[in-house]
Structure 1
């Protein structure tokens, strides 16, 4: 039976995970590795104080094009273009109708992806996600 493991960088980001054979495990004992984590993925977990922990979820609140409850600071990426946000909130202003893909990120919180469709010249939102 293989032994699950993960290894994180100095910030706790999981850079490597998988499982080792018992033979490899005995020859690879290393304090930089965490052994026996179950269900670990870099998207949902990180390492803190030698323990695997679930990455917290953002307390995101959305009203129209205003987002609040964001970690401070964080990044809001709109259609691939990142913007720095401080203060835990942002008012989005889309210049023209279309679909916009947003990714909200701040370490160690789990990333949030949103799709917003603006339908007309008055920037009315038609397809909130």
Structure 2
């Protein structure tokens, strides 16, 4: 698991991601909730990567902090407000291959919407 960088606040929420299947788990926040977003297929799961050093004619998927799924590292890289669409011609083939490999790692039993749920701490 790797922890996403977060600003320190009184109501800090940490985001942890599995380095193997990239499943996210959010921990903390105002109600100290453990939130596990449900499975999403590759065409709905990834955001387009944004960075000054990325070529404009190829669309890359944002994978981890400062990096794309295909391994390009650029300081200050971030996910855009737009999804990375696997079916577009401009989609990076190496990002698509990695997205498909990550998708195959999700167990079939954990792909149902109710398989990943949120749990709030009881006071």
TM-score (norm 1): 0.30
Which protein is bigger by CA-based radius of gyration? 1
Identify, as 1 or 2, the structure richer in strand. Answer: 1
Asked which structure has the greater RCO (Cα within 8 Å, sep 6+), the reply is 2
